[in-house]
Amino acid sequence: MTAYTRAAGIRSALGTAAIIGILTTTVPAVAATGDVMLRTGGEPGALCTTTGGGSVEIVLQVANLSDAINGVQVRLGYDDALLTLDASATSEAAGWLRVMLTDSIGDVTFAIVSPVGTVGPGPGPFTVATLVFNVDAEGASTVGFRPDSPPYHTRLVVASDNSIIQGIDLGKTDTGTICADDTTATASSNSPICETDTIELYGGPSTGPVEPYTFSWSGPNGFTSSAQDPTIPGATPAMSGSYSLTVTNAAGCAFGPVTTDVAVQADLTVDAGPAQELCEDVTTVNLNGTVTSASSTLWSGGTGTFGDPTSEADGV
C-alpha cells in the first residue's frame, strides 16, 4: 500500500473530533442526506483517450446536500492494469486540505477537510477535488465507489455538528467509461475497376482492445453501409469518387473518418471503321477508326506501315 498524507496544521484548524469523524466515526446519519459523484466530463458517453494521451482527470463532486459539509472521505476502486493514480498531480479545491490518500492495488481511500469554510446546502454540484490517473494500457473501465469497509467509508461530514452522511443517506455515482484505444481506422478498395465490375471496399481494424467495432461507410450517390467490407455490384462511372469510413469501438469512441478513392472506367467502344475495297496499285489507305472511353489507341495488323499507329484515324 502506498499512503500519502498531509495533516500538519489540520487538527488545530478543524478540530480533532472532525478529523476522527472523517476517518473512523461509525455513528449513522439521522436526517442529513447528500450525493457524491465521480465525473470525467464525458458523461453520459465515454471519455475517449489513448495511451499517448498521458492522463485523465476525474472530478470529485458533492451534490444535493441537505446540510453544509466540511469533510469528505471516499473509498474508490479502479483497474490498475489500465490506470495508475498520480497522487502528486491529484489536487484539492481551494479551501480544502488533504488528510489521507492511500492507493493499494487499485483501492483508494481519499479524505479531505475544509478547516475554515463549508459547501452546501443545495443541489450543487460542488467540486471538492480532482484525481489524476495516468493511462498505462489500452482498454475500457470506470473509477467507482468501493463498498464501505470500517474504519474506511465513503461519507460526508456535516459542518454544524460533525455528524456523518453515509450508507442509504448518501447517493454514489461512478464515472462514465474511461476508454483508452490506440486504434487507427483504415480504408482501401480494389480501384481502379471497369464498368459493370464490383466495387470492393475494405475497412479496418477487425480486432482491437475495445471490441466489437462497428463501421459506417458513405460515398457517392448516397451510398451508405454498416458492413466492414461492403461491395457494390454493377459499377458505373457515376460511382467514382471518395468513400469515407468511420470506425467506432464498443465504448462509443470513433476513429476517422478516413477515405479511399474509387475510379470506375467506362466501357470501351472500338470501331476500326468501314471495310474498304482498293485497287492493287493504291499506295495509301486511310483508316477511320473511332474509340470512346480509352486513354490510348494502337493500330496493328496488315503488311503496311502505319503513319501514326496511336491515332484513331490513320493512313497505311
Interval 141-169: pLDDT, tens:
999 999 998 888 999 999 999 999 999 99
Query: Pick the residue with more confidence: 8 or 257?
Result: 257
For the chain, residues classed under CATH 2.60.40.680 are: 2-180
> Span 74-91, mean pLDDT?
96
Residues contacting 259, CB < 8 A, separation 6+: 187, 242, 243, 244, 245
Residues contacting 61, CB < 8 A, separation 6+: 36, 37, 38, 39, 124, 125, 126, 127, 128
Coil, strand or helix: which one is 245?
strand
Res. 10 pLDDT band, cuts 50 70 90: very low
Torsion (CA) 57, 143, 154, 150 in degrees, nearest 10 = -130
Q: What is the CATH number of domain 2-180?
A: 2.60.40.680
Assigned superfamily of 186-265? Immunoglobulins (2.60.40.10)
For the chain, residues classed under CATH 2.60.40.10 are: 186-265
Length of the chain: 316
Residues contacting 58, CB < 8 A, separation 6+: 38, 39, 40, 130, 131, 132, 133, 143, 175
Strand partners for 127: 61
Coil, strand or helix: which one is 237?
helix
Res. 270 pLDDT band, cuts 50 70 90: confident
Interval 295-307: pLDDT, tens:
666 767 666 676 6
- Enter the C-alpha cell of residue 154: 465513503
Residue type (1 letter), 17: A
pLDDT for 31 equals 74
Closest CA to 17 of 158, 210, 211, 214: 158
Torsion (CA) 88, 93, 95, 100 in degrees, nearest 10 = -40
Rounded Cα–Cα distance for residues 304 and 296 (Å)? 21
Interval 216-227: pLDDT, tens:
999 999 999 999
User: Where is average pLDDT lowest: 152-161, 184-193, 196-205, 271-280?
Assistant: 271-280
Query: Pick the residue with more confidence: 241 or 273?
Result: 241
Residue type (1 letter), 26: T
Coil, strand or helix: which one is 11?
helix
